[in-house]
Structure formats: C-alpha cells, structure tokens
Structure 1
Amino acid sequence: MKKIYALIFILTGLAFQLEAQTIRGVVKDTGQTIIGATVSVAGQKQRVGTDANGRFELRLTAPGTYQISVSYIGYQSLQKTVTVAADEIKELEFILSADATLLSDVVVLGSRSAPRSYLDTPVPVDVVDIKRLTQSAPQISLNQILNFVAPSFTSNVLSLTDATDHIDPASLRGLGPDQVLVLVNGKRRHTTSVININGSLGKGSVGTDLNAIPTSAIKRVEILRDGAAAQYGSDAIAGVINIILNDNVNQLTSSVTTGGFTGKHADGLDGETVQANVNYGVALTEKGGFLNLSGSFDYRNFASRTTPYRGVIYTDYNNPTLYPTPKGVDITNAELALRGQSREDFVPNIGQSRNRGGTMFFNSVIPVAHEAEIYAFGGLNYRNGTSTAFYRTPRQLTQNVATIYPNGFLPQIVTNNLDQSFALGIRGKLGQWKTDFSNSFGRNVVELQTINSVNASMLAASPTSFESGGYDFAQNTTNLDFSRFFENTLSGLNVAFGLENRIEHYQINPGEEASYVNYGNALNVGTDATGKPILIPDPKGNVPTRFAPNGAAFSGGAQGFPGISKDNLTNASRNSIAAYADVELNFTEKFLVDGALRFENYSDFGSTVNGKIASRYKFSDMFLLRGAFSTGFRAPSLHQRYFNATSTVFIDGAFVESGTFSNDSRVAQLLGIPKLKEETSTSYSLGFTSNIGKFKFTVDGYLIEIKNRVIYTGQFSGSNAATASPQDKEIYNLLRQANATTARFFANAIDTRTKGIDAVVTYSTPLGLGVLRADLAGTVTKTEIINDIHASPLLVGKENIYLDNASRILIERVTPRLKANLTLDYSVKDWNMFLRNVYFGKVSQPTNVVANEQELTGRVITDLGVGYNLTKSLKITLGANNIFDVYPAQLLLGSQGTSGILYPNQAPQFGFLGRYVFTRLALNF
C-alpha cells in the first residue's frame, strides 16, 4: 500500500511539474482571433497551433526566460520575451498586423492543408486583390475586373442575347462557362437558371453569375488554373474560382462610382452607370466572432453602337394609295419624308442593356465551444434589366399589326433576375481531426416579359406586353469534411477525406397564352359537301387562316421573345453523392506530392471516378518546379437535358424562330440525336515559380483534352414539299406546332484539345517617396476540335448542321488566343496612380457564310486612374477605361445586316462601346 501511495505521489508531482511553468494566451489581429497561427519557443522544438478560439498553451519543463514567436501567413510575425517563474502560469496576448504584400499571396484553394504562398503551390493559382483594384481600376463588376486583370479569364457585356445580356458568361482558358467551378469561401456556388442559347461566348452552356456577388463583399479571388474535378467535383475541368468574402470588423468602407461612355460613337455621354457600395463588420464576441455586412446598388443605362438602318423599311403595302395594286415595291425614302422620319429611327440598342439592381451579402463566424465555431454566409441579389430585340419595320407585314404600330416597333425584353444563397456550417476538432459540416443552398429565378411588342396573329386584339414565363434553378449541397496533419510522418503528412450530397432542381415556367400561341392556325379535319376543307381553329394545327396583305401567314407569339409554351413546362430534379480522399505528403521540406481520388454517382447518368496527382520540388527559396496530372468530368446540366423553347436568333444578318428540343423529344428521335452523358477530361500541367528579391515569376504550360464535349447544334429544318421525305414532313409539322422554323439540340458531339502557356511576373519596390508595384501577365492558348464528329447513322450527310461552322468558331476562335496585361500602381503620400495596358489578341466572327468569315485583329486597351486622399478617410479617384477610344475591327457588310451591327457582339475581345470615364468617391473609417 505504501508503494501505491508513493507512486501516486510521484505521478501527482510529475503532473504538477508539467503544469508548473505554463504560457497561455490568445492570438488575434485588430478585429478578431486567428485560428491556426503557429506559436513556437525559440531554441526548442516545442510548437503549437491556435485553436478555434485563437488560444494556445505551451508547457515548459523548467522556469526561465523564453522567446515566444507567433506567425501566420499573411501577417507580420511577432516575438515576445517572457520570464516564467516556477509554478507560474503566464497569460499573453499577441496582436498581429496584416501585411498587404503577404496577404495578396495567400492561397487556400487547391489544397486541404494549411494556407501557403501562391509561389509554393503544386498547381498555378492567381490571387486577385479585389479591395486594391476597386480603389483605382475603372471596372466595377466582378466579371469585368477579372477580364482585365487575369489573362486566362474572358468575359464581356453581351448584346442581343435575351436574358444572357444581364449575366455576362465567363470563360477560363478558352473553355466553356460550365467548365469552371465557382466556390464562395470554399463552398460550391449554384449556377444561373438561364442557358445561353444565342450565338455568343459559351453558346449552349450554363455558367455562374459572378456579378450577383458585390465587390464590396469580396476580400480576394483565387483562380486555380488546373483541372480539379477529383478535389471539388463536376465542372472543374478548366479550373476553379474561389471567392473569399470580407471578414474585417470595426471598419466602414463605402464608395460611389459614376461614369459613362464618351467615345466617337457615343451620344455625348451615354451608357451612364452608377454603383454605390458599402461594407461594415462588427465583432460579436471577445473570442473572435464577427458579422460582416455588404450592400450595393447598380444603375446602368442603354448604350448603342449601330449605323442607320440600311434595308427596306416601307413598301407600297404600307401606303397602297401610291399604287393601285401593291406589289412590295420599296417606297422607303418617299415614305420617310412623308412621315418626318429618318433611318436612324429604326435601329435596335446593340451594345449595352439597361439594368437596375441591388445586392445584400453577409459573412459571419461565431465561436460556440472550445475549438468549435459556427459560420454562415450568403446574399440576395435582384436585378431588373431591359434589352432590345431587332426592330420590326412596317414592311414586315406578318410580324406587325399596322393599326397598333403604323411605324413598326422595337421589342423589349424585361428580365427580373433574383439570386439567393445561404450557407451554414460548423467546424472544429474531433480529437486530432479537423471537421467541417456544412450545407449550402442557392437559387436563381429569372422571369421574363416582352413589352412594346405584338402577337400579329391576334390582329388588332393583340396586347402590347406579355408575361413570357421564366426559369428557376435551385441547388442544395451538403458536405462533411475531415482533415488531419501528421507532423512526424516524414516532413509532414496531411490526410483529408469527405462526403458530398448535392440536390438540383430545374423548372421552366410557361408564360401567358397570348405570348406563344398562333391564333391563325387551324386543323383540317376533312372536307364539306362542296369539297372545301373543314378547318377547326387549333394553335397546333398546320393550316394558316390569317394572312397579311401580301398573302403570307401572320406570325404567332410575342415578337422579339416568344413566350414559353405550356408544352415546354419542365419540372426536373436529380441528386449526386460523392466521396473523396486527398493525401498531401511532404517527403522532405522541399519535395511535396499531393494525390486525390473522387467517386461520384449521379441519379440521371451513373457513376464516375476521377483522380489527380500533383507535385512540386523546391530547389531553393528562389526556384520551384511543379506539375500535375488529373482526370476530370462535367455532368451535363439539368438545363441541357431538359431545356425546350422557341426563341428569335440572329444568324448571318437575318433572324429566325428557332426551337430547342430535348433529347427525348420526337424531333430528336427522327434525327437520331443521342441522350446526353458526362464530358470527361485529361489534364497535364508543368511549370515553375521563382522568387528573386523583388521579382516573382510563375510560368505554367498545360494540355487539356475533353471527350464527348456537349455542344449546341446548328439549325435543322424540315420540309412540306411534295417531294420531301416522311421524316422531313413530320419534322416540319412538329416545328410549326412550336412556332419555329428550325430545331436545335444539345449533344455530346465532339472532342477538343486545349493547350497553352500562362506567365505572371510581379515586382514591388520603394521608389522615391512612394511604392511601385508592377504586374505583367500573359497567356497563349489554343483550342481545337479533334477526332471525328460523334454523329448517329441518321445524321450522315448532316454533320455540317450538327456542328455548323459558326459553332466551330465559337469553340475554337472566339476568345483571344493571346492576351497580356501590364499594370503599374504607384502610391506616394496622398496620391495613387494606376496605369494598365491590356492586349486582347485576335478572334474570329462566328458565321456560317464563307464570304462573311472574318478574323478580327488584336487591340491594346489602356486604363488610367488617379486617386487623391482628400482627408484620412475620404478619397477621390478619376480615370478612364479605354482612354484612347479603341474599337474592334468593323464587321463585314454581310455580317452587319440591314440593322447596322457595326462591331462584333458575338466575338468578345474587350467590348465595342469605346472610352469610359469615371469618378469614384470612397469613404473609409
């Protein structure tokens, strides 16, 4: 018994001795505690990390004087000398200062281990400091900011693309908008409900609406330029964009930016814009809890860049008193003079649509227990936009009702875009494992109206505005993630694994009947006693009964944007379940290998397994070699599987009513259009980084091969000619029932290869009394279609329709193959000067007419901004985008058409609106 008491006494003494000299404390910045900071004791191997409350504890074996160091990437390290007596517990507080030059280098994307510098990552990652750019750059929307700062990123304001005019699809490395995955705070963000069915960048794809997130809510953007489907799932073929939200507290930042276009084509000042931003964060607890709130208001006016209407506006049918029997003779000039009009009264607004909108976003973290915290973020965005279709001139007798619009009309498409997102999660530690359980919900609803229009088949009874229906897409993603760092396995091993469940829902909501019905159609049910046909009014009938003065049948549905028919009603859902594992092993401090494997099962097409391996070797602090190989996939979107509608599209100077049919439709069966399956990809990358004093370099080459890539086909049509085949006659009748003359589909039709090189150089140095930062970045990329077109036997001889020339150009040559920018940012005392030159390389205009094929040469666009701090809290900035008023090459006359589209709206380089001048007033305190 005495031995037992002695043992207890010894153990108690040892325990007391272990607790006797203890240093405890908290690490924070000016507003919140810091999780994961490293606390170490100089001269000893003892090292700990701060917990979910920012706290740490060091147990010392003997009393004495120690130097305690604290470090965290993106902050300046801090040291304190502490003397600890025997049996003493010392309490410390470390307040770290953020280092702007370091924060811009921090990367969390592409790895589930600790954050690291972008120069140390095994795959290329760009870090875009949104806060810095929004102080000086002319651009105010996220898409446009990234377009001018990240060479591998392409996005432009579109025109004549219906609801897409207000979304601005984005491309990474020249691939489709749906081949880049967007995350917010590391969580998957939902896509828009709108599918791009017009002939623009991203034709046939569904992207993420980046403009729904206000720049005031964004701290930085990380762009991973490498395949990452094995890590993050579907869509991450070209790369991943991760938007990190603001987390600052006790600081109010606000700004108002106003501007407009003043180039040679502007009407004085047009396309006026106003954006107001505000951000404020409050500390919720003493242990690091915070709530950061952001808001914005956007106002944008029309801007048009067209020439006067060139075609026939009036014929003798519009003024039959001039001729005894109208024959369609052109009387435009005489009639314009008679009515006091000019050709400039008959052009659409081609350039920039009208937009009004507002956004609210929040980001919050609340510690709830030791090493555990709840986090939440999300937002609400609403935009009301108005775009225009082509002018319906009086001579278009079948599309107009002269008693309503004697001078024709310009249809307008009103888009009400509501975007919602909310994410909630809890993260902390279970034993030695970091855990993160979260649920993210996102929804996008677009409702459409067609105004200043007419349903010609209703004659004088037609309304002039229509509820045209809309789209609704919702996505719910649940994640459970685990990770652990094993410090004593070689030079460190990080193991991560997790599960994901995603549910998606897609709806197409029909419009009012008058928006899509042709009331002049009838069904022939036989003949009467005199041999005359017996006709019963039926919108799906194939016999027209209402004719314009020239003898042609009146068109049905709203002009400009035919409404969505009740036959297009869609209500579809699917779910996917995924499991992944990610292992990152540091064989030595210089040599790292990262491997990932992901299994994913979709309820609508099956399972897929993808993997990735990446590595980097750090030869020295000045040079690092890196490379990666991965397989990837993209699940066809619900939109691509189920979208069906009729729309007006502009093709080679003319517009047609084109119907989109799902792959299980009768029309698709007649043509042999197969069912959709996933795209698969193989990606390779190899590059290096270098840190030579004030210079930092990254150069990376890549190769991406995609199989079974989904395209949006060309225009198929039927025929009712006497010699037509039964197949073509049935197709003709099915198209007529849909108020369409052509049919298009989504299909896994092609394989593509994309290859290129990205290079980035940054330089920062004191200069005179200020600091100069220079960034030079460039990309050279090429996408080409390889192998044979995947066509069914029924499509033999129609391959050039299945993949028409315009679609081929949109895939291969519509984004710049060469793009580079040089940015100089100089700050001295109260002044800041910003100068940027961006070279947008050549692109090609999509067309199916050989005579209209055109290569548009490259251009250099110059941005300038000059800022001055009026007070410590108030700053004014003046400047311009495209200060030299540069425009793309003008389109050939055949591509311009009669409506006078002067510049390419389908081949985006940098836009075609000319010089934009702006003033920004910013308040910070």
Structure 2
Amino acid sequence: MKRFLLLAVGILLTATSLFAQRMISGTVSGEDGEPLIGAYVTIKGQSLGTVTDFDGKYDISVPAGYNTLVFSFLGFGNKEMMIGDADKIDVVLAVGNDLDEIVLIGSRSTGRTKLTTPVPVDIVNVKELVSSSAQTNVNQLLNFVAPSFSSNTQTISDGTDHIDPASLRGLGPDQVLVLINGKRRHNTSLVNVNGTFGRGNVGTDLNSIPVAAIERIEILRDGASAQYGSDAIAGVINIILKDDKGLAFTAETGAYLSGEIPEQDGSIDGEFNQLSANYGLAVGDQGGFINLTGTFDNREYTNRMKEWGGSIFSGYNNPASGAAPGDNITDAELQRRGLQRSDFNMRVGQSAIRNGGMMMNFSLPVADQAEVYAFGGLNYRRGNAAGFYRLPNQERTVTDIYPNGFLPEINSNINDASLGFGIKGEYEGWDVDFSNVYGTNGFNYLITNTLNASLESASPTSFDAGGFSFAQNTSNLDVRRYFGDIFAGLNVAFGAEYRLENYQINAGEEASYTNYGLATQFETNGGDTILIRDGQGPISTVFDPLGRARPGGAQVFPGFSPNNEVNAYRNSLGFYGDLEADLTEKFLLGFAGRFENYSDFGSTVNGKLTTRYLVSDNWTLRAAASTGFRAPSLHQLNFNSTSTIFVDGVAFEVGVFNNESRPAQLLGIPQLKQEVSTNFSGGITGRIPSANLSITIDGYLIDIQDRVVLTGNFQGGTGTDQEREISRLLQQANANRAAFFANAIDSRTAGVDIVVTHNARLGNGKLNTSLAATFAQTTLQNINTGDVLEGLEDTYFDRTSQIFLESAVPRTKINLTLSYKINKLNVFFRNVYFGAVDEATNATANDQEFAGKTVTDLSLGYQFSKRVGFTIGANNLLDVYPDLNIEANQSDGRFLYSRRSQQFGANGRYAFARLSFVL
C-alpha cells in the first residue's frame, strides 16, 4: 500500500516535464461531410482521450512514446490513425455499428469495444437521445431504451413517490452498482418500505444527475462483484459526464394530453417545464477542460382516479339526520352539503416535483503523463405527494378540524451532493489512478394538511416528521499495465478500496409521532386504579363517536421518534487483482479476484472468469462465470420506523424493527449477513458488414442465496407471554404489525438478451435501426426459516412479496427504434413492448394478470442552423393504458389501474416541445 502511494506522489513530482507532450488537432466527420459532434478520440494504450466539439474539431495532448489515435462514434466504425510527424489529423468515419464503440467497463484493458469485450455492454448515447426522445430524466430514458432496465414512477408509496426505484435484469434496485466516470456512486438514504417493487431495497437516485451533464451511459449486463465490489450482482451502470466545449442551452415544455384524465381535473395535467445549460471551456493549453451543467425543472402531479365509490358519511357526522351513529348516510349528506363523490378523491398518479441541480466535470494535465481530475454535483428536490383520503366517518379524522375529511400530503426535501477528485497518469510504464469520492443524500419529511387524531381538535395540521441521511466516502487506488509482448497482449490490473459509510435517522417534532391517548394503569397505595396518559401504555383513552381508538402521530406518515434515532458507521476494505490475456489473436482469457472485509459482518472473497473467442473477423463467442456478493446496506441494518401501509385495501400501522430489537429476538429473526451469488453468462456477437447489420445474443443464469428482503407483517396476540409482549412493544411504537429485514430467501434469475442494429442509407438520408429484447424470469427457490419461524413462511415472505420478486415488473421487454436523418430533418420512432405483469396481492381471489402492451414514441426534429434546433413529439402517442383492475382490486374506485405492479405507468399520452441553442 505504501508503494502505491509513493507511485501517486511520483506522478506529481514529474510536473517539470509539462511541455513534453505533443498537441494533435483535427476534425472528425461522416461520409456526407457533416461534422460528428461528440466523437471519441483516444490514445491507443491509454485511457486518456477527448471528444469533438460542435464543429467536429478536437485537440488532444499525446504523451511521448504513443503514436496511434483511435476515433470512434456511435453508429460508425472506429478507426485507428498513426500520428507520425503530423500535428493535424482529419478523419472520416464510415457508417458502421455500435459494436465498434469503445467501452470503459466490463474489462480493465483499454481499447475494448462492444465486439471484443468478453461480457455484454450496452452503450446509450444520451446526448443524441436527449435531442429526440420524450424522456427527461435518467430513469425514464433508460426504461425506454434499455430492455434489461426497469423503472417506473410510483404512487401512494410514501418516500418512494419522490425517488423512483430502478433495477437491472429484474433484480433488486440495490443489486446494481452505479458509477460516475468509473467511480462508485453513493446510494440514496431512502429505504423502500411501502408496497412497491424493490420493497426493502436501497437504490441509487439516478434522477439526481442532470441528463444535460451526461455524454453517454454504459450498462454492463453481467455480475461484476469481483471487479467492482458490492452491489454489482445484476450488473453495473457507468455514467460518463460530458467534456464538451462551448455553451448549449435547452428549454422544454410538455404535459399529459390523455383521454383518461378525470373531467373534474381538466383536459391536461402533469405539466412539465425544464431549463438546462451546459458550458465547457478549455483549461490550459494541454487538453484540460471544465464542463458545468445547470438544470431546473418543475413537474406537476397527475391523477387517474375517477370517483370514490365507498362510504363517506355516517350518522354521527350529522346528528340531525335521525340516523343511528353507525348508519351510512353518504348520499343524503352529499346532497345536503352540495358535494360530489369526486370531492373525496385521492391523487393517484405521479407526485409533483420541483428539482434543481448542477454537475461539474474537470480535468487538467499537470505533467508529461499525468492529469488531475474532479467531478461532482449538487441537487435539491422538493416533492409533494398525497396519501389515502381520510374520510369524515373514519377514526383518523377529527371533523372539528376537517368537517369533510382531508387529503394528507407528504412533502419531501431531498438534498444530494457529491465530489470526486483524483490524479492519474503513467509511472514507469504503469497507469496509476488514485481517487477519492464523497457523496451524501438527505431526505426530510414535512407532513401537511394532516393532524394527530389522538389530540383531537387541539391537533396542529402540519408536522416536521424528521428524516434520514446517508454519507459515503470511497478511496481507490487502481494500477494497470498492458504488456503487448506477452502472448498476443496481457493486461494486468490491481488495486485497493477503502469505504466509510454513515447512516442517520433524525427524530421529528413530538406531536408527529406520539399517541397522546395511550395510558398506563397504576394502582395507588389505597388500592384504587388510575390511568395516566404517557403515550406508551397499552390502554387507549381517546375514541371517536363510534368508540374506535384514535391513532397517534401525523396521519399519512407518523414521524420518527427519539427511539428511532440512529447514527451508525461502518467501514470496508477491499483488494482486487485482474488479469486479462489475449493468449492468441483469437482467444482471450481473463480472471478477476476480490477480497473485502466489512466492519459489521466480516469478510468475503469472490472471483470471475471470462473468455472470448473470435470465430472470424466478424463473429465472436464469449462467456463468463463469477461469484458475487452484496453487503446488507447500513440502512437495512439500522432502519426502524412506523408507517401506514395498506394491504389489499386494509390500513395497518406497520413498525419496521431492526434485528437487534426485542421483537426480532422474540420471533427468532436472525442477524443480517451478505447475499451471495453465482452468475453464468454466454453469448455470441457478430456483424454482416455488407448489410451494416450487427447482432448480440447473451444468455445468463443468476443464483442468489440469502437475499435480504423486508418480511411480511407479524402481529402479537393474547395467547402466550411472547404474543402479549410483542403486542405491547408494537403499541409502544404506534404499530399493530411488525416487519424486519432478513436474509429470508434464495432466488434464481434466468434470461436472454438480444440486440440487433442496422445502419443504412435511405434516399438522401441515413436510417439507424435497433431491435433490442430481453426475456427474463426470476423464481423463488427457498424460504430460509429457522426453528422459531417454522410454519410462518407465509408471513416471513408473504405472497405479495413473492409477486414483487417474480412478476410485478415485465419479464419481457422489446424495443424497436428507428431514427432517420435527412438534411436538417430528423424523425424518431420507437415502439416498446412491455410484457405481462401480475397484481401483487395476498388474496388469491384477487389474482390478476395484466396483458402486455406496446407504447409508441414519435418525434420530429428540425435543425434550423448549426446553433438552433427544435423538436416536437410524444411519448405514448396512442394513449395506451395498462389493463383495468378487476373490481376487487379497485378499492372502491381508488385504483382503476394497479399501483403495485407497474409496466409503464398509467399517465397516458405525453406531448412535448424542445428548443435547443448552441453557442
């Protein structure tokens, strides 16, 4: 380790040779003479490079001893050029295919393309997509372009309404690793505990990264824990930031224009407006740069609930009616009050969000063969979502405050910040990269238009409910060298990583979490019994007119109490080694191994074996086998809270207890340990140059043991001492059910990914076509119960959780995209087929399958000049919706469409217009 640090210091000390580099400049264009904006120019044998500007121009500083440049661009073949004595090199790239695009993940050897890498990697040209597609954030953009990726906006799901869970290959949101410029990105502080896909998982907030800051995204579809560490069971998403020069400005507006918008809500909803700017400039005269992005957007909520069909008023809501207190007098009372049933609707759709952020990417050569770099960003999001409407005849409503009930709102304040910096360069033939990345995410709740029913008419109507935060600092030392004279080429890489994490839960104000009606019975010295309200005892003393106990805490989201507060730390230390050898010109063999030790649960060792065989110049066979792991997140080890969760339409106050708690001990919930996996993949890549056609087919099998999940809901009782103690502990937590994180299950995921691309001249224009499909299935293999839990399998991992695991997101997704450019006009057309999903329910009588549907996107773009472009278009042009819920799953009209099992959302047609300037 000391030697590695000395190598990094040595790089800095070589600054005296600053001017030993050669500057090469030139232009990159297509066969039609048009400049290629954002083409990659890299130094063969080095990871250093640059991209072309708006005019197709580039400047690159080439260290002594290197004499070949590699030019590449998505949709074109890559090209190598010898430098010789030239200081200006102009290149024309022929139409090819994206298999020639150089990738940065999947292999630590430089210069690997999608054709030559031994594992499947997708490349998403974000800069090109943003100009034509309707999607405006990273999650939605990837959901419609990468079949193996799934993400949908959730509704009526507490904090998950504000941060969209995302997954790869149908696995959990926490089983995909996210990198920025090849460095680990921090997770969000939010734990998804409500009824959504990814329940119990902790993911990464991709939408905190402005799309305008991204050059491209690489998606490694293969287990990579041995290469990159924890979380990479399903694969890796690497987001590469822009290093453009100049100023680009984009303004966009859009809204949902759907035939399913309720009449009372108007003809449009979900209005969206976004402004973004990207500015880059050269730093120094040796190829340095700084690129800055700023963005602001405002999204309004949508609603697809038509009309509440259940009971609203009971006799006690109008004593003058003459009805008994418990009688349903809804229809008469609506008429008397001049109200409609729709006045009691919820907001079933996307939340309202106001979002602002910035991103920075920086690089500066400081020596002959060294550069310092930095990247990072700030993001602030204010979200507003609503819960279930609290009706006037419910014990959760105090009619002295809200005579007609109320719709409680969850307001989020989400702060995200990150900063990475490092130095990389060559030292005695070795590429050395030393970096440190810090990231933090905070999520705080403000609950409004609500009350604490146990305070009755004295209750406030808004509460600071507290929140949580997560911080992560990761230091890496990566060393690499390519030996061209060993075999047909040998790449050696090794390194170390140290990570420190902190997770905190902060309490809200007292009234946000306390049940002021709870009391404890005491016996006086004189033998009398008295009740003392203490907010903790087992006896309820505050009731509604029908004798139902009033719940405590803020309605829709009870706040965190001091008993929930957490300030937990952990650290991990890892070492890896990576060998990749071209044993012959055709046969490649690679091996990676990794050791990691965590301060809170121990050590793990993992390995990966890869191979690739070039059958011919155009066809390749590839395969990989690996073991992997995912450490239980610090959140899962320490999270505890109480929240209102509806199960099949019935509300429960569910307390989530950590594994050190007394309820966990009573039920025999074991301590958390790491998930472990085995991953096998194999495939073929090829192309037919004469037809400009390429194809990749990859199959995979992923077995995961001891997956960490959030259990079903346990309850106490009155039968045994154990049940009575559980009931008492639940009541102290304002809960009537209990859930825990546990290594509860084993699963198997199998699937096939297919990608076909075609590029051709059509008339005077260029047509790019891609067909991508994924077919996957995850199945539950085993429920891991101990002796105490034997016979409680249906609660430990309930039926709803099993459906979330196996079939709540599409198992089949097919994407057909056509982009046609002729002169200044660009036509973008895309059909995405989202396969069938099942409703997540515990009641077999409510089982339902939602059929697969196809969503169509269409946009037209016109480039008025080199500097001004305009695009109009629509996502879901044909206004397609998922199948309607059966009546039993509609919850008396609340949910016409499933809120738990998402295919592509239920917002309908979205139309947009986008104007872009480049200066």
Q: Same fold (TM over 0.5)?
A: yes
Q: What SS class does the counterpart of residue 773 from structure 2 fall into?
A: strand
2:49 is matched with: none
2:511 is matched with: 514
1:153 is matched with: 149
1:469 is matched with: 466
Q: Does 1:609 align with 2:617?
A: no
- Report the alpha carbon displacement of residue 116 of structure 1 after superposing the two structures with TM: 2.0
- Report the alpha carbon displacement of residue 898 of structure 1 after superposing the two structures with TM: 2.7
Q: What SS class does the counterpart of residue 793 from structure 1 fall into?
A: coil
Is the Cα–Cα contact under 8 Å of residues 97 and 694 in structure 2 kept in the other structure? no
Is the Cα–Cα contact under 8 Å of residues 354 and 386 in structure 1 kept in the other structure? yes
- Report the alpha carbon displacement of residue 533 of structure 1 after superposing the two structures with TM: 2.4
Q: Does 1:296 align with 2:295?
A: yes
Q: After the TM superposition, which residues 315-354 of structure 1 pair with which residues of structure 2 at under 5 Å, given as runs? A: 315-323=314-322, 326-354=324-352
Is the Cα–Cα contact under 8 Å of residues 97 and 759 in structure 2 kept in the other structure? no
Given candidates 414, 417, 426, the residue that maps to 1:420 is 417
1:783 is matched with: 778
Given candidates 87, 93, 110, the residue that maps to 1:114 is 110
1:487 is matched with: 484
**Cα offsets for 1:676-725 (capped at 9, x unmatched):** 000000000010000111001000000000000111111111124xxx11
* Alpha-carbon distance in 1 for matches of 2:618, 2:87: 36
Q: What SS class does the counterpart of residue 421 from structure 2 fall into?
A: strand
2:848 is matched with: 854
Q: Does 1:597 align with 2:596?
A: no
* Alpha-carbon distance in 1 for matches of 2:60, 2:486: 24
* Alpha-carbon distance in 2 for matches of 1:631, 1:33: 34
Is the Cα–Cα contact under 8 Å of residues 868 and 876 in structure 1 kept in the other structure? yes
**Cα offsets for 1:842-865 (capped at 9, x unmatched):** 011100011111111100110000
* Alpha-carbon distance in 2 for matches of 1:101, 1:622: 12
Given candidates 365, 369, 383, the residue that maps to 1:367 is 365
Paired AA for residue 208 in structure 1? T
Q: After the TM superposition, which residues 833-844 of structure 1 pair with which residues of structure 2 at under 5 Å, given as runs? A: 833-844=827-838
Q: Does 1:36 align with 2:43?
A: yes
Q: Does 1:141 align with 2:137?
A: yes
* Alpha-carbon distance in 2 for matches of 1:525, 1:81: 91
Q: What SS class does the counterpart of residue 878 from structure 2 fall into?
A: coil
Q: Does 1:555 align with 2:551?
A: yes
Q: Does 1:815 align with 2:809?
A: yes
Q: What SS class does the counterpart of residue 449 from structure 1 fall into?
A: strand
* Alpha-carbon distance in 2 for matches of 1:500, 1:515: 41
Q: After the TM superposition, which residues 67-466 of structure 1 pair with which residues of structure 2 at under 5 Å, given as runs? A: 70-74=69-73, 77=79, 92-94=87-89, 105-249=101-245, 251-266=246-261, 267-323=266-322, 326-396=324-394, 398-466=395-463
* Alpha-carbon distance in 1 for matches of 2:777, 2:181: 31
Structure 2: stretches of 5+ with no match in the other structure: 1-19, 28-37, 47-57
Is the Cα–Cα contact under 8 Å of residues 254 and 911 in structure 2 kept in the other structure? yes
Structure 2 vs 1, CA of residues 384 and 166 (structure 1 numbering), >3 Å: closer, same or farther?
A: same
Structure 2 vs 1, CA of residues 24 and 333 (structure 1 numbering), >3 Å: closer, same or farther?
A: closer
* Alpha-carbon distance in 2 for matches of 1:739, 1:448: 18
Paired AA for residue 696 in structure 1? S
Structure 2 vs 1, CA of residues 467 and 412 (structure 1 numbering), >3 Å: closer, same or farther?
A: same
Is the Cα–Cα contact under 8 Å of residues 302 and 354 in structure 1 kept in the other structure? yes
**Cα offsets for 1:790-824 (capped at 9, x unmatched):** 11211122110001000000001111111101000
Is the Cα–Cα contact under 8 Å of residues 115 and 686 in structure 2 kept in the other structure? yes
2:737 is matched with: 742
* Alpha-carbon distance in 2 for matches of 1:333, 1:869: 58
Is the Cα–Cα contact under 8 Å of residues 513 and 559 in structure 2 kept in the other structure? yes
Structure 2 vs 1, CA of residues 884 and 35 (structure 1 numbering), >3 Å: closer, same or farther?
A: closer
Is the Cα–Cα contact under 8 Å of residues 26 and 33 in structure 1 kept in the other structure? no
Is the Cα–Cα contact under 8 Å of residues 590 and 618 in structure 1 kept in the other structure? yes
- Report the alpha carbon displacement of residue 164 of structure 1 after superposing the two structures with TM: 1.0
- Report the alpha carbon displacement of residue 444 of structure 1 after superposing the two structures with TM: 0.2
What TM-score does the superposition give when structure 1 sets the normalisation length?
A: 0.91
**Cα offsets for 1:252-284 (capped at 9, x unmatched):** 222112111111112301011112221111001
Paired AA for residue 751 in structure 2? G
- Report the alpha carbon displacement of residue 55 of structure 1 after superposing the two structures with TM: 3.2
Q: After the TM superposition, which residues 719-758 of structure 1 pair with which residues of structure 2 at under 5 Å, given as runs? A: 719-720=717-718, 724-758=719-753
* Alpha-carbon distance in 2 for matches of 1:666, 1:99: 67
Paired AA for residue 786 in structure 1? Q
What TM-score does the superposition give when structure 2 sets the normalisation length?
A: 0.92
Q: After the TM superposition, which residues 784-803 of structure 1 pair with which residues of structure 2 at under 5 Å, given as runs? A: 784-787=779-782, 789-803=783-797
* Alpha-carbon distance in 2 for matches of 1:279, 1:650: 44
Is the Cα–Cα contact under 8 Å of residues 97 and 693 in structure 2 kept in the other structure? no
1:891 is matched with: 885
Q: Give percent identity, aligned residues only.
A: 51
- Report the alpha carbon displacement of residue 105 of structure 1 after superposing the two structures with TM: 2.0
**Cα offsets for 1:560-619 (capped at 9, x unmatched):** 111111110011010000000000101112111111000000000000000000010011
- Report the alpha carbon displacement of residue 899 of structure 1 after superposing the two structures with TM: 5.0
Deviates more, 1:863-872 or 1:768-777: 863-872
Structure 2 vs 1, CA of residues 77 and 701 (structure 1 numbering), >3 Å: closer, same or farther?
A: closer
How many residues are matched? 869
Is the Cα–Cα contact under 8 Å of residues 25 and 59 in structure 2 kept in the other structure? no
Is the Cα–Cα contact under 8 Å of residues 39 and 71 in structure 2 kept in the other structure? no
1:624 is matched with: 620
- Report the alpha carbon displacement of residue 92 of structure 1 after superposing the two structures with TM: 3.2
Q: What SS class does the counterpart of residue 620 from structure 1 fall into?
A: coil
- Report the alpha carbon displacement of residue 557 of structure 1 after superposing the two structures with TM: 0.4
Is the Cα–Cα contact under 8 Å of residues 507 and 565 in structure 2 kept in the other structure? yes
2:673 is matched with: 677
Paired AA for residue 737 in structure 1? Q
Q: What SS class does the counterpart of residue 153 from structure 2 fall into?
A: coil
Q: What SS class does the counterpart of residue 128 from structure 2 fall into?
A: helix
- Report the alpha carbon displacement of residue 119 of structure 1 after superposing the two structures with TM: 1.5
Paired AA for residue 344 in structure 1? S
* Alpha-carbon distance in 2 for matches of 1:29, 1:310: 69
Is the Cα–Cα contact under 8 Å of residues 36 and 51 in structure 1 kept in the other structure? no
- Report the alpha carbon displacement of residue 81 of structure 1 after superposing the two structures with TM: 9.6
Given candidates 643, 656, 667, the residue that maps to 1:647 is 643
* Alpha-carbon distance in 1 for matches of 2:349, 2:65: 61
- Report the alpha carbon displacement of residue 94 of structure 1 after superposing the two structures with TM: 3.9
Q: What SS class does the counterpart of residue 825 from structure 1 fall into?
A: strand
* Alpha-carbon distance in 1 for matches of 2:900, 2:864: 43
Is the Cα–Cα contact under 8 Å of residues 599 and 610 in structure 1 kept in the other structure? yes
2:900 is matched with: 906
1:4 is matched with: none
CA RMSD in angstroms comes to 2.1
Paired AA for residue 431 in structure 1? E
Q: Does 1:690 align with 2:686?
A: yes
Paired AA for residue 814 in structure 1? A
* Alpha-carbon distance in 1 for matches of 2:83, 2:126: 37
Q: What SS class does the counterpart of residue 175 from structure 1 fall into?
A: coil
Q: What SS class does the counterpart of residue 401 from structure 1 fall into?
A: coil
Structure 2 vs 1, CA of residues 614 and 608 (structure 1 numbering), >3 Å: closer, same or farther?
A: same
* Alpha-carbon distance in 2 for matches of 1:106, 1:296: 29
1:55 is matched with: 63
* Alpha-carbon distance in 2 for matches of 1:742, 1:491: 63
Is the Cα–Cα contact under 8 Å of residues 34 and 53 in structure 1 kept in the other structure? no
Paired AA for residue 343 in structure 1? R
